Amino acid sequence: MRWVLLLTCLFASLAQALDYHLQPRQIADGVWLLEGSTDNFAADNGGNIVNVGFIETADGVVVIDTGPSRRYGEALRQSIEKTTGKTVLRVLLTHHHPDHVLGNQAFAGVPIAALPETARLLAEQGDAMAENMYRLVGDWMRGTEVVLPTEEVQEGSLKIGGRRLQLLALRGHTGADLAILDERTGVLFAGDILFYQRALTTPNSPGLGVWMADLDRLEAMPWRQIVPGHGPVTKDAAPFAQMRDYLGWLDDLLRQGAEQGAEMNELIHAPIPERFAQVNLSRYELIRSVSHLYPHYERNAMVRVDRQD
Q: What is the mean pLDDT of residues 146-153?
A: 98
**pLDDT on residue 305:** 54
Q: What is the pLDDT of residues 277-290, one digit of tens each?
A: 889 999 999 999 99
Is the predicted pLDDT of residue 85 greater than 70, yes or no?
A: yes
Q: Which of 16-30, 119-133, 150-164 has the lowest mean pLDDT?
A: 16-30
Is the predicted pLDDT of residue 5 greater than 50, yes or no?
A: no
**pLDDT on residue 8:** 39
**At 159, phi and psi to the nearest 5?**
-105, 125
Distances (CA, A) of 128 to 113, 174, 253: 21, 16, 30
**pLDDT on residue 307:** 58
Q: What is the mean pLDDT of residues 65-80?
A: 98
Residue 82, classified by CB atoms within 10 Å of its CB into exposed (0-12), middle (13-18) or buried (19+), is exposed
| Average confidence score pLDDT of the chain | 94
Is the predicted pLDDT of residue 78 greater than 50, yes or no?
A: yes
Distances (CA, A) of 153 to 54, 89, 94, 166, 291: 17, 15, 11, 11, 32
Close Cβ partners of 273 (under 8 Å, ≥ 6 residues apart) = 249
Q: What is the DSSP letter of 281?
A: T
Q: What is the pLDDT of residues 168-195, one digit of tens each?
A: 999 999 999 999 999 999 999 999 999 9
Spatial contact of 177 and 190, defined as CB atoms under 8 Å apart: no
